[in-house]
Homo-oligomer: A and B are copies of this chain.
Amino acid sequence: MLDRLSRDIEALLFATDRPLSIDELCELTGSGEDSVSQAIERLKAALEESGHSLVIAEIAGGFRLMTDATHGETVAQLFEDRRPGRLTRAAIETLAVVAYNQPCTRAAVEAVRGVNCDSALKSLLERNLIRICGRQETVGRPLTYATTEDFLSYFGLSDIDHLPRRREIEEILSTGMPAGQDSDLFEENRG
């Protein structure tokens, strides 16, 4: 039988409409961090042991009860007509660049991808996977973009810092973003 704390946590993780962090769970249950962590472990074990279709996922900085992937096809039927489609390649590439460079301007994304990214940015904004987060203090004060919590949930990431590290990207970006093709081509001629 599950203890009271595990039951409380289970109820919270079911009823919430966003992931709940350990801190929030401590406050909501009036328990300490260790007790809460242990209760989560007991809950995980109980769900697994009796073969339920539910799992505790750690995403977007918190915990949430979710169906396990083996039931995806069955459950997806419920949302058939309102589930957004997979992202386009342009959108997912644009998202990758924003995720690794945030906050980041449209021009910076376009410098990496070598193509216009207007419509990709627009569709990402509409799906709330990126947001406008400010302006860059350079000429023209362009808008900057960053990823959202929905981005983390959408890809099952627990934290933006948990994106896999990429050496090439870090090396190249640390020496400055590449300029756009246009400027590459024409600056030589001017010089």
Contact yes or no, A74 B158, CB < 8 A:
no
Residues of B within 8 Å of A135, CB to CB, are: 161-162
Binary CB contact string for chain A from 103 to 133 against chain B (1 if under 8 A, 0 otherwise): 0000000100000101101100100000111
Query: How many A residues touch B, CB cutoff 8 Å?
Result: 60
Contact yes or no, B168 A78, CB < 8 A:
no
If A53-B8, A134-B158 touch, whether A65 touches B14 (CB-CB below 8 Å) is yes
Residues of B within 8 Å of A7, CB to CB, are: 51-53, 71
Residues of B within 8 Å of A65, CB to CB, are: 14
Binary CB contact string for chain A from 2 to 14 against chain B (1 if under 8 A, 0 otherwise): 1000011011101
Binary CB contact string for chain A from 139 to 181 against chain B (1 if under 8 A, 0 otherwise): 0100100000000000011110110100010011111101111
